[in-house]
Chains A and B, each alone.
Chain A
């Protein structure tokens, strides 16, 4: 089985076994290790990437679903940590162990794409699938607010 898709803007061709999921293709075949394995069942959000701009859980996405589509991972979100969310994440000192944060940032980036000025309630509803065991939730909300304000300033 041969699959072609765009990965962080570049054409990518793979010959995976059909049951392989996007997560293991990214992490173990392509060595893009910023996307994390947390639960393997779409329950924790650590593996969140964008598929055609939508946040998905790569641990339950078979590679066969990628044909002709575009995948963005944390490595492709920006150059030099320049995405407003990445800057806000540093400003609010969000990460602790950091393991879930690639997924958190990718989920938040999809939120800001669709809603430039989300309310607290909208942030909470959108981010509820992403577990942070260090409990950085209040700082995540703060950082999304900071980034949203920056985006709206232009």
Chain B
């Protein structure tokens, strides 16, 4: 990706129109679906000047006379590889020579570059839920096919032959009858914009057997600049005349600054401005290191009375047992079929188990930061940020300034990790508020301690599972109650669409604690699937049935899921004797429309309580996989992220304050604790693609817990399985 223009030139006003004019003659822009008014110049204007309201005006591809093909990427690149995958979709259908493709960020304009929202509601530029490739799979292949049409049409007009006689090879149009061929670059030098570009139906797109790029090894385009330090994250952006900023935020969410030693701080070296915010105090200066000293000296008297003050996470989590046992009615029901209560009452055998999980923190490696420059009039701004939700950030800053989103320009940067944290815009709005106060560009940098203290966490919860079996040992009833704060964050993954259980009741018993919570990679699936898969394994053991066979029985009418499970079991050689002192555990989960299963090989050092995961064999069915090597990388990534949360990650609160502050007391997985091997098998499929970036995560908790149970007879029921938790469990 190109360095942001700001590195060379403050406040570029590089509209798309000027860009086109500046490079015209040897360049043409392909306006896809430009049927609404057919005027490519206006169709290519940026959102600020766009007259087109239609959602099917899109502009994705530029070809210069040298044959270089620039494809615009509408998604956030946070390590998941979408900027390559999306470009592959366009390049595939337009028959581009991949070696000539460059990828650049698209402007932030959801009407043009958004993907269809859930339930067909509007168009969005938000990179979450592993929806990017699946959401763009059809529209971007159609866009690529339309680009190819424009090229063919131009040749057909030039050579005065029917378009149907032409075919393409990579970056080349061929006319076999006259033995002529012409490169895309040559076409670009004379091409005219085609006013009537037909819609290209899905059935006219390439069939999987014809793919040259999709499903093949295509190296990621962002990797070269990530090995020499030249990739630009917002942390690396410098804007002339900017001030640095830091914020001391309330340690208890909801409290506000009442008074502080403003005079003293103002007199310190390099401090230019102090800004009182609702939730903290901002300090601005020319040099970041001055701010660190000033922040250390800043003494704030905070207001009292926020509900979060009462929040002591360990005590409250323990108290959740009283909620789930109270027969509390009026929970939010996620799934109800048959009559679970009646079926349990009449069941031959009943099982019940409680599972706990603590808060976890995103720990993206790049601490939050943003640069915002509010204009002197205070009615517009430029933003440089790594964000999963650029359109959300623009809306939020526009609201702050009381202006139109059209007056906010966002320059996307690489994200040094997102994992859900960067789908919030809080850090961008803060920078905007500070810039608004000084009417200068402000670079707000969160320290790692800030990132912990004002984190937004995956919520803790208690899950109670109750199951009833009939006389034949068949699961006939299933009750799952989840107690905690953050309803949508808790419900994710609680349903069991691939398990055939006739009577089900799945519910959330919601509470509110006033602390900051947010989506975290795979959201609730991390703990809901841990509980579900542990419980299935526990029932199987009690019934004297092999866990894999019990899974198969429950999954009997879901052939696709069965194949995933069987693949992982075969890879691991399920049923063989594990190495001495080791044991296997198996788990299955669905996430983002994809299916995954794994077998974990685990050992346990009883004296220290330390669990070691040695090997993982995993399988994935994600439909058509656009980039297989990257899919493997995402599985490796999600499995390690998952294992890290399962083994060691834990945020606790006392009196509403986060107790952890940096990587010495919040342990993310390091290389020495990573499994020695992670095997991933992708199942061949011609189904539409589904999400991959999170699918490896939900399978980790159950697989490890089940392996530890097989090894020691101890059921670990509280995430994370820290050595302390393990020792506590072993003594019981």
Contacts and interface: CB of A to CB of B under 8 A. Distances in A.
A59 B223 CA distance: 25
A135 B223 contact: no
Interface in A112-154: 123-125, 127-141
B53 to A, nearest CB: 36
A141 B636 CA distance: 13
The secondary-structure label for the interface of chain A is loop
Nearest to B627: A93
Task: Give the one of B417, B638, B662, B671 with max A CB within 10 A.
Answer: B671
Interface string A21-36: 1001001100111111
Given A90-B219, A93-B220, A134 B417 contact: yes
A44 B669 CA distance: 11
Given A33-B229, A93-B633, A124 B672 contact: yes
A58 interface: no
Contact of A130 (B222, B364, B669, B671): B671
Nearest to A20: B289
Contacts of A74: 228-229
Interface in B189-235: 219-220, 222-224, 226-233, 235
A36 B447 CA distance: 12
Given A96-B633, A97-B414, A131 B663 contact: yes
Contacts, number: 174
Interface in B627-654: 629-630, 633, 636-641, 644
B365 A99 contact: yes
Contacts of B233: 36, 99
A135 B448 contact: no
B483 interface: no
Contact of A86 (B227, B293, B638, B672): B227
A135 B79 CA distance: 11
A77 B227 CA distance: 10
B363 A133 contact: yes
Contact of A140 (B637, B663, B671): B671
A44 B637 contact: no
A100 interface: yes
Contacts of A73: 229
The secondary-structure label for the interface of chain B is loop
A102 interface: yes
Contacts of B672: 124-125, 128
B364 A133 contact: yes
A35 to B, nearest CB: 7
Contact of B289 (A19, A94, A97, A105): A19
A43 interface: yes
A97 B664 contact: no
A41 B668 contact: no
Given A97-B78, A135-B674, A39 B633 contact: no
A130 B678 CA distance: 20
Contacts of A98: 79, 222-223, 226, 231, 414, 416
A101 interface: yes
A19 B293 contact: yes
Given A41-B664, A44-B365, A131-B365, A101 B227 contact: yes
B668 A133 contact: yes
Contacts of A81: 224, 227-228
Interface residues of A, number: 59
A37 B235 CA distance: 8
B365 A127 contact: no
A36 B366 contact: yes
A98 B80 CA distance: 11
A17 interface: yes
A46 interface: yes
Given A31-B238, A132-B365, A75 B636 contact: no
Contacts of A21: 289
B366 A135 contact: no
B641 A75 contact: no
Given A97-B415, A138-B678, A34 B229 contact: yes
A20 to B, nearest CB: 5
A20 B269 CA distance: 13
B157 to A, nearest CB: 42
A128 B671 contact: yes
A123 to B, nearest CB: 8
A149 B79 CA distance: 27
Interface in B706-725: none
B363 A137 contact: no
Contacts of B328: none
Given A19-B289, A97-B416, A97-B417, A137 B664 contact: no
B219 A93 contact: yes
A53 interface: no
A74 B677 CA distance: 29
Contacts of A141: 671
Contacts of B232: 33
Given A134-B79, A135-B637, A86 B448 contact: no
Contact of A46 (B222, B365, B641, B675): B365
Contacts of B301: none
Contacts of B414: 97-98
A97 to B, nearest CB: 3
Contact of B287 (A28, A95, A133): A28
B288 interface: yes
A139 B447 contact: no
A8 B226 CA distance: 19
Contacts of B220: 93, 95
Given A19-B293, A93-B630, A75 B670 contact: no
B236 interface: yes
Contacts of A131: 365, 663, 668, 670
A120 to B, nearest CB: 8
A133 B417 contact: yes
A43 B666 CA distance: 11
B416 to A, nearest CB: 3
A139 B416 contact: no
Contacts of B633: 93, 96, 136, 139
Nearest to A87: B227
Contacts of B644: 135
Nearest to A103: B365
B367 A38 contact: yes
A43 B664 contact: yes
Given A24-B289, A93-B629, 18 more contacts: A17-B290, A19-B289, A19-B293, A31-B238, A33-B232, A40-B662, A43-B664, A93-B223, A94-B227, A97-B78, A97-B364, A99-B416, A101-B227, A127-B671, A132-B365, A134-B365, A135-B640, A137-B674
Interface of A: 17, 19-21, 24, 27-28, 31-41, 43-44, 46, 73-75, 77-78, 81, 86, 89-90, 93-102, 105, 123-125, 127-141
Interface of B: 78-81, 219-220, 222-224, 226-233, 235-236, 238, 244, 269, 287-290, 293, 363-367, 414-419, 445, 447-449, 629-630, 633, 636-641, 644, 662-664, 668-672, 674-675, 677-678
29 contacts: A17-B289, A19-B289, A24-B289, A33-B229, A33-B235, A36-B366, A38-B365, A38-B366, A39-B448, A39-B662, A41-B448, A44-B365, A44-B663, A81-B227, A89-B223, A95-B79, A96-B81, A97-B364, A97-B365, A97-B414, A97-B416, A97-B418, A100-B365, A102-B229, A105-B227, A131-B663, A137-B669, A138-B636, A141-B671
